[in-house]
Amino acid sequence: MTDATTAPVGRLSLGQGTALYVGAVLATGVIALPALAADVAGPASLLAWLGLAVVSAPLAATFAALGARYPDSGGVATYARLAFGDRAAAVVGWCFYLSVPVGGPAAALWAGGYVEAGLGGGDSTVFATMLALMIAVPATNAFGIQVTGRVQIGLSALLTLFLVMAVALSLPHADLGNLQPFAPHGWQAIGPAAALLVWSFVGWEAVTHLTADFRRPARDVPRATAIAVIVVGVLYLSVAFATITVLGQGAGETDAPLGDLLAIGLGGDARVLAAAAALLLTFGAMNAYYAGAARLGAALARDGSLPAWLDRGSAADEVPRRSLAVLTVMSMATAVVVVAAGVGPSSLVLLTTGLFVTVYAVGVAAAVKLLPRRSKARRAAMVAQGAVVILLLMAGPYLIWPVIVTAAALLYLRLTRQRRP
């Protein structure tokens, strides 16, 4: 583990780092969750979007401060080790590492649904799209973080342009009357809607595993985070507002809200364009997560929380191909279960959310302990603690999965330490 003064020089520029943040947080949820949240809470789901956008600011600031101060490929696992010891590091590391093989196929399934809507072909198209993404993303990461960063800049620019275009073209058709009744399912429905939307605001922890790859982490990590917070918040709220005011009662019934917005704005059928956008969104989010998780796996192996043969690639400017290969195999195994059992993406999303919330809880607690007292960053971490408590309550029964992962991580540490001389 290194600090900001001794970290080896990485290759990520401010622009590449910002693009990775935007790609990680501007996740695949934007292609489906505005409609799902509207179905649960109606126009009141806008309050859930706004609340989570506000909550994400102190969370992002907290992880940016930790990343700038302790740039290391272990990310949140490193912060947990410094604050609470090896067991906490292993738990949070396993939770993040195992979230990617579950969340990746869920994201790919959503993209597959858009492609099927645009091209037809039924389930075969959906599963073929999922498989293609799960091959293309690890292949891109296998060439190294510099290639990943360059690809991400292009993707983030295209995604931002597409979302702005979808909102700008459809808003002239908005009807503010669609905001009434504002809470058709009661105010209590905002909570379940927010639980779904948590998926859309995770990602601030993902790039912490890449902070050692920044050229100037102490300066560029906070800057990249601040830019990403503004870009992501504005885009999410804009898309959610357009979905409800333009689509009206149909907002909760559509499977492809962005496609419908484009169709209204451009006229005719824009499903093919929406499918292309869904692929870009999904590839960008998966690209950032696989890059961070692969680096984390190597760091966990370096620190004794995973088998030692995975530790290649834990240092800046190295490529963690072994860890990346393990992630790919586990993701493919999840895909096989999804196809065989007919599991939908919603269940996978909620399982992944439980793991992410656990990572946030430990990471924010570590920040409160590690960051300098009376600093702005520590005050942000204390605010984030309250937000994490709310997220934990919303996760509810899906916290069972991180409990199982925690038990497995602690068992692994115990068994491996018994075998050491």
The token pair that represents 170 in the structure block: 């459809």
Convert the pLDDT of each residue in 199-224 to its tens digit: 677 667 766 666 777 777 778 788 88
Flag whether pLDDT at 386 surpasses 60: yes
Flag whether pLDDT at 150 surpasses 80: no
Q: Which domain holds residue 320?
A: 14-419
Mean pLDDT in residue range 135-144: 79
pLDDT given at position 2: 46
Residue 4 lies inside a defined structural domain of this protein: no
Residue 3 lies inside a defined structural domain of this protein: no
Mean pLDDT in residue range 154-176: 81
Domain CATH code at residue 289: 1.20.1740.10
Total number of domains constituting the chain? 1
Residue 9 lies inside a defined structural domain of this protein: no
pLDDT bracket for residue 411 (50, 70, 90): very high
Residue 6 lies inside a defined structural domain of this protein: no
Mean of all residue pLDDT scores within the chain: 80
pLDDT given at position 266: 74
> pTM of whole model > 0.75?
no
pLDDT given at position 259: 72
Task: Identify the DSSP state of 30.
Answer: G
Residue 343 lies inside a defined structural domain of this protein: yes
Residue 57 lies inside a defined structural domain of this protein: yes
Instruction: Tell me the chain's radius of gyration from C-alpha atoms.
Output: 20
pLDDT bracket for residue 140 (50, 70, 90): confident
* Residues in contact with 66: Cβ distance below 8 Å, sequence separation at least 6, in sequence order: 76, 79, 208, 363, 366, 367, 370, 371
User: Letter for the amino acid at 254?
Assistant: T
